[in-house]
Amino acid sequence: MINGDGSYCEKMNCNWTITYSVDDMILQIYSYLSISNDDYLSIKTLSGAQILNVSGPLSLLNPTSNIFTSDKQLYVNFISGTQTNSSGWLIILALIKNDPQNFINLTSDSSTSLLTLNELQLNSPYNIMVEDGTLDLFVSTLYWGYLQRYFHYVDVFNGTGLYWDNYLGTLYDIIQNQSSLFDGFSSTQLKPITLNYPLTIIRKKSRHNDTLFMENWLLLRIRDKHAVNCPDTNNVFKIYSTGMTIDYTARQSGDCILTVLCLTGLPDMPKPVCKLDLSGIRYTGNGNLIGARGLSNKTEIFNLNSQSTSAWTDLTVYANPFSFIIPSNGQIHVNASAEYDFSFGNTINCYPLPQNGILMSPQYPYANNPNLMENSTLTTTYLIAFTPSAQFELTFISLDLKPNSFLKIYDYSNVYLNLNGTQGPIDKKQIISENLTISYAPGINVNEKGFLISYSVVDTAVHTTPSSSDIIRPLNIFILFLLKVVISNFNK
């Protein structure tokens, strides 16, 4: 159809039919398009759903150049115009094995799934199955201007399979049609995108570098489980280094999960471990407020009640994501900010006293995820109390160190603990000092949980008010002494 000079016949109307009958296969259609002003090219399904519909002038490789479909009968139509000096077009067809399929199953026991675009295998369909309830999608990134080009290459379909009668659009289209927040380098409360299910998504190979070097999180959840008992459905927050203040309340009906997705701002892939700084914690409620690594209360890191909340003013946790579990009618106020660079250590100001908190290794409580150990060759925490009469009480909740992994606790003068590998149960330690340093150096290629330590700091120089029994005891002795004197004088 193309002449030797690159031109082709004008005013032609050409049609082709494409069929295949092999099960467990999908059809890949790759097209190169270079057509003139009034040329027209379309690909349709048996029912007439448009897969490709373009008109000239057009000369590019775009997201529609790479198409996948489960439809087994297609129709191609090309109409050439009057200016036929373009190089034409080329369609390449290939059948691809669709077994095993990738499934993301959301159930009442596992109601959330957190992933990134990089985790979606190229040219491989994913089926998203939901047991019951409302399906929500949260998209979290700082680099929307850069990442949107990749969202163009993610096709989304209702149902199971890549049937174009059920095509919803690209992930970019779906995000743009919703009110989800993309406000750049800031911390914010995210809004969910509600989707029907089941869904099938496929990330196609693009004309860009397909390894993304910008942070992004895709959170799928069953709203009826993850947001139950919360005041609204926006119980997911994006936290960046600029930080933000979060005020949130659980309903009377039960516990509410408040989830934080951590973004560091580095031009890199999302970090599975992120240092989250929590300060100014104020909690009121009847039950205990739980801090957990992940999206539920299955990996509890700490808990506190409303009576002790004033002592939890400066707290650092390693997690991505992190969640607060707020009891019914509970209210939380917290300032949150995030960072990734651990090289300068972590300083916690224990002031004013008393203070409570936790110390943890970056990977705790996960022993078999090497990504959590990244940049964790040395993690150092400094507890500063500002008074030489401070007493640190350390409780070792969990300790899992393999040989050649070191945990050291010391101050300017003394070494109080120096472990190489797990040394058996560790007793609670009470240390009088103005400051403490906790250094953790995991061994090379080790699989270990590391440690979780709770601490409390009090000022031993503060005199407490005597209790009533402390006052009554000497008073009773004095009365007995007076009675003895009176009786002695009476006998005389």
- Residue 96 to residue 202: CA distance in whole angstroms: 13
For residue 185, the tally of other CB atoms under 10 A from its CB is 11
* Domain final position from 300, 323, 341: 341
Is 6 within a domain? no
CATH number of the domain bearing residue 476:
2.60.120.290
Q: Give the pLDDT confidence score for residue 6 in this predicted structure.
A: 57
DSSP 8: B
Question: Are 245 and 378 in the same domain?
Answer: no
Judged against a pLDDT cut of 70, whether residue 339 lies above it is answered with: yes
Residue 479 amino acid letter: I
- Residue ending a domain, choose from 45, 75, 97: 97
- Name which of 363-372, 389-398, 400-409 the model is least confident about: 363-372
pTM of the complete model? 0.85
pLDDT digits over 453-477, tens only? 999 999 988 644 443 333 334 434 3
Which residues are within 8 A (CB) of 438 and not within 5 positions of it... i.e. 6 or more apart?
359, 380, 381, 383, 407, 408, 409, 453
Residue 415: partners with Cβ closer than 8 Å, 6 or more residues away: 408, 409
Q: Are residues 36 and 122 in the same domain?
A: no
- Choosing from 290, 314, 341, the residue where a domain stops is 341
- Lookup: tokens for 423: 């040394």
Residue-range definition of the domain harbouring residue 78: 13-97
Give me the number of domains the chain comprises. 3
Residue 149 main-chain phi, psi, to 5 deg: -65, -30
Asked if the model's pLDDT at residue 350 lies above 60, the reply is yes
Residue pair 250/332 in contact by the 8 Å Cβ criterion: no
Pair 62, 209 in one domain: no
The amino acid at 309:
T
> Do 168 and 285 have their domain in common?
yes
**Burial of 367: CB neighbours in 10 Å, binned 0-12, 13-18, 19+:** middle
pLDDT tens by residue, 257-279: 999 998 877 766 656 678 899 99
Question: What is the DSSP-derived secondary structure letter of residue 241?
Answer: T
The three-state secondary structure class of 55 is: strand
- For residue 29 the two structure tokens come to 């259609």
- Do the beta carbons of residue 445 and residue 402 sit within 8 Å? no
